[in-house]
Chains A and B, each alone.
Chain A
Amino acid sequence: MRRLLVAAVFAIAACAPSLSMAGEAERADLIGKLCGDATSLGDGGRALTGIAADGSPDERAWAALIARAVLDRKLSCDSKGAVVVSSEGSLDVFTHAQRTASEQSRSPLLSLKNRALFETAEAALALRTAPDAARRSAALRALERQASSMPEHLFEAAAEQENGPGLKAQMTAVAQAAALNSADPVKRIAALARIAATPDRRALTQVRALIADPAYAANPELKRAVDAAISTIGRGIATGDVLATLYNGLSFASILFMAAIGLAVIFGLMGVINLAQGELIMIGGYVTWLVQEAMRHLVPGLLDWYLIVAIPVVFLVTAAIGIGLEAILLRHLYRRPLMSLLATWAVSLFLINLVRVTFGTQNLNFVTPFYVTGGVPVIGDFIFTWNRMFAIVFAVLTLALTWGLMRLTPLGLNIRAVTQNRTMAGCIGIPVRRVDMMAFGLGSGLAGLAGLALAPIYSVNPQMGQNFIIDSFMVVVLGGVGTIVGTVVAALGIGQVNVLIEPLWGAVAAKVIVLLMIIAFLQWRPEGLFAIKGRRK
């Protein structure tokens, strides 16, 4: 797409040698600025934005390429002016002929201040010149936040030449919002209404600044409008904050749930505390990475879907490890929960160091597919980040599948039976040892899946499992051993309380308070929230 655009622009430019002499001089001046020092680079950026507002279509097209090239560091300045390196090769900026940069060429490096200016310029130019509606829409969103500092007629001009009705309406709206500081009070009131429609803290600061404006005191209508806008925005921000807290809590809860569900199944069934659970999560992460690498070599086109492809692989691998663990080690430690605790701790130590020696200690490099990148602003300052959404959806699916397995399959029936009364289940013919093995495999597989879901959120390294051990135990013990409902409720509770306390006293205090609360609760009710009724020994 880009190639076509470049070709088209240069074709147009080539077919129109009637660039006025003044135009040429302006362009030379601009390139001179871009190839100068940081201050003149800034001036160049501002000039580019001016061209977006005022320039002719040819100039805008040319300027768009230049702006993009500077941002991508594809502009090389040399003694004869400058060269743009594109897919066509390196082209001179004025004559569009093929030319390689001379020896002493350098690419201007953007400082932060200048980067901001160029990003604005590039967005402004894209707004006017990009052939692709999605591109124009993205540019509009980027410019919306600084609408009032843009040249006034930029948005109106863009709206005029816009064909798509939805986008046209949006541009008109932004044009209105840009008029916040204009002289006309009617326009200002319209702008206030526009701004209040997307409430966030930035808007609040913008509107609050108007209180200092002399027109605020002078014009009662304006005053009313400003006050109304402030209260609307305030409400929007408050709603956004509440939603953000809920979302963060839900996200943390989903992570806790996935880390703990495998543990809950195993502990409920066999009374084994599996201290290697964190390491199984870590192995899930590593297997995901291996799948990514395999796909990179075999089917690079489908690389973005590695997370989905990895699901069955991770489950089977970690389940196999779990089954192996049970068969080789834990089987012999039947009825000795303490020794199994120590044994699983030894396994965890072994696994951490095995992975460390094999893969090294560095964080793994994960490709972030589009469906777990970025976020969507919803209301107020609340942004819906996709990677955590992925984790939440994954947790819900895991919950559904586990519940389905437990309630609807024969294996699930057996697991429930053995959990409730192991001896009796053995007496009526349930193959208890085999159920143990399968359940351990299930629990381990669930831990592996947790590792997969966490890969887009946390760094994956040999130590990552250690962060989840204490928390997942607390969830299991609080929720009541052997119940899925208990795990869900406990995870939600712990996650939400943690997130509520965090902004008040910090992350550490939140963790400490939550843990102390759980310990206190357990003293009062040791079997947890939803325990299977039994004799308290």
Chain B
Amino acid sequence: MKPLASDRAFLLLLAAVLAVALLLIISIATPFGLSAYLSNAIGQLAAFAVLALSLDLIWGYLGILSLGHGLFFGIGGYVVAMHLLKHSYEVTGRVPDFMQFMGWSEFPFYWAGFGFFPYALLMMVAVVLLISGVFGYVSFRSRVGGVYFAIITQALVYVAMLLMFRNDSGFGGNNGMTGFAVVFGWPIGLNGVVIAMAAGSVLVLGMTLLGCRMLLGSRFGILMIAARDDEVRLRTLGYETLRLKLVVWCLSALIAALAGMLYVPQVGIINPRLLAPELSLEIAVWVAIGGRGHLIGAVIGAVLVNAVKFWLSTAAPELWPFILSGLIVLVVLVFPNGLIDLAKLKLARPMGVQRLSSETPELR
């Protein structure tokens, strides 16, 4: 991978992200700048971009496709929703809706302590690590890979959705959870708070970008790419690929959960629909359209696709599915490695191994 200082495209994107964050910060305090509505949209796009980054990390650089990253996104979202609801309850005393219609007067025992944010954060990390760790370990050890792995992750997120839809599971069930009144002590409806959350999301996006880039630029990144290109060879050379894959898998899951934590307070509701298998598939679509194997590709893909979706869902709702399917077919047939990569191949001078030529097996 190119050294950071000379990776022009990446630096350009990072600069753009920071510029947007600055603009948002200005908008909090002054009446100039972006409206609350637009800031909210940008904040959501930033959360999706972080999610796309997490998938790109394992798919683009490690070669493992997961079609169930919505699961970790959902876990992050649910944890933050639980925190917000519990916190709101502690501040306002209003019992959440889902408890009212189930006829419960007390929170289930696993809700204890969620009003305290560090504890909630800790729980999120623990749950994500547990699920991704166990699943990853068992799968990678039996050398489950490729299409099988993709399908199994779809089934996994589907199971999670079914469980969460049950109203007696204590997580809001079909209704999901809504009615968050306060976030970190600030009322959630205030314009300033909305813009501040958006600014925060964009900043987190920037930091994640930088962090992933540094990871990939290190020795670890080289190992990842080697594992993607030919795992057997790497193993033969004596490297422990199981541990490598497991670490990156868990890291990717944590980043996805982080994205969930950014997303939910900004939309004000969480619902098991987030765990639908189709949505997890869409994440892969964002990364594929933007360009797999480039961090900037993931960000651009996510932002582009979701911006068009937001716009079309009110302007021309009938058209959106057709446009999306057309876009996917276009990318798949005409731009085999995503939009951005095509240009990059001409701009950059490829060093050594042509990473993303069509001979590279994209899947093991």
A residues lining the B interface (CB < 8 Å): 271, 273, 275, 329, 332-333, 336-339, 341-343, 345-347, 349-350, 352-353, 357, 469-470, 473-474, 477, 508, 511-512, 515-516, 518-519, 522-524, 526, 536-537
* B338 → A minimal CB distance (Å): 11
Nearest opposing residue in chain A for B359, CB measure: A335
Cα A124 to Cα B168 in complex, Å, equals 49
Number of A-B contacts (CB under 8 A): 107
Number of interface residues of B (CB under 8 A): 41
* B144 → A minimal CB distance (Å): 5
Which among A333, A342, A347, A469 has the greatest number of chain B C-beta atoms within 10 A?
A342
Chain B contact residues: helix, strand, loop or mixed: helix
* Chain A to chain B contacts (Cβ below 8 Å), 21 pairs: A273-B151, A329-B329, A336-B336, A337-B147, A339-B362, A343-B329, A345-B281, A345-B285, A346-B324, A346-B325, A346-B328, A347-B329, A349-B325, A350-B325, A352-B321, A353-B321, A357-B318, A519-B159, A522-B144, A526-B142, A536-B143
Cα A248 to Cα B28 in complex, Å, equals 61
> Hey, what's the 0/1 contact readout for B271-299 against A, CB within 8 Å counting as 1?
00000010001001100100000000000
A-chain residues with CB within 8 Å of residue B325 when the two chains form the complex: 346-347, 349-350, 353
A-chain residues with CB within 8 Å of residue B364 when the two chains form the complex: 537
* B181 → A minimal CB distance (Å): 31
The 8 closest A-B pairs by CB, nearest first: A346-B328, A346-B325, A350-B325, A353-B321, A349-B325, A523-B138, A526-B144, A343-B332
B-chain residues with CB within 8 Å of residue A518 when the two chains form the complex: 155
Cα A522 to Cα B150 in complex, Å, equals 13
> Hey, what's the 0/1 contact readout for B147-175 against A, CB within 8 Å counting as 1?
11011101110110011011000000000
B142:A523 contact, CB within 8 angstroms: yes
Nearest opposing residue in chain B for A473, CB measure: B151
Which among A338, A353, A477, A526 has the greatest number of chain B C-beta atoms within 10 A?
A338
A339:B336 contact, CB within 8 angstroms: yes
* B356 → A minimal CB distance (Å): 12
Cα A338 to Cα B153 in complex, Å, equals 14
* B326 → A minimal CB distance (Å): 8
Nearest opposing residue in chain A for B166, CB measure: A508
The verdict on A345 contacting B332 (CB below 8 Å), with A336-B362, A473-B151 known, is no
A-chain residues with CB within 8 Å of residue B162 when the two chains form the complex: 508, 511-512
A470:B155 contact, CB within 8 angstroms: yes
Cα A346 to Cα B138 in complex, Å, equals 31
Contact of A345 among B143, B163, B328, B336 (CB under 8 A): B328
Residues 313-346 (chain B) with a chain A CB within 8 angstroms:
318, 321-322, 324-326, 328-329, 332-333, 336
B-chain residues with CB within 8 Å of residue A537 when the two chains form the complex: 143, 145, 364
Cα A515 to Cα B155 in complex, Å, equals 7
A512:B159 contact, CB within 8 angstroms: yes
Taking the complex as formed, is B146 at the interface, i.e. its CB lies under 8 A from any CB of chain A? Answer: yes
Cα A523 to Cα B145 in complex, Å, equals 10
Cα A356 to Cα B64 in complex, Å, equals 35
A339:B154 contact, CB within 8 angstroms: no
Taking the complex as formed, is B4 at the interface, i.e. its CB lies under 8 A from any CB of chain A? Answer: no
B-chain residues with CB within 8 Å of residue A332 when the two chains form the complex: 333
A342:B152 contact, CB within 8 angstroms: no
Nearest opposing residue in chain B for A267, CB measure: B147
B332:A519 contact, CB within 8 angstroms: no
A-chain residues with CB within 8 Å of residue B332 when the two chains form the complex: 333, 339, 342-343, 346
Taking the complex as formed, is B209 at the interface, i.e. its CB lies under 8 A from any CB of chain A? Answer: no
> Hey, what's the 0/1 contact readout for B255-269 against A, CB within 8 Å counting as 1?
000000000000000
Contact of A519 among B65, B156, B281, B322 (CB under 8 A): B156
Taking the complex as formed, is B241 at the interface, i.e. its CB lies under 8 A from any CB of chain A? Answer: no
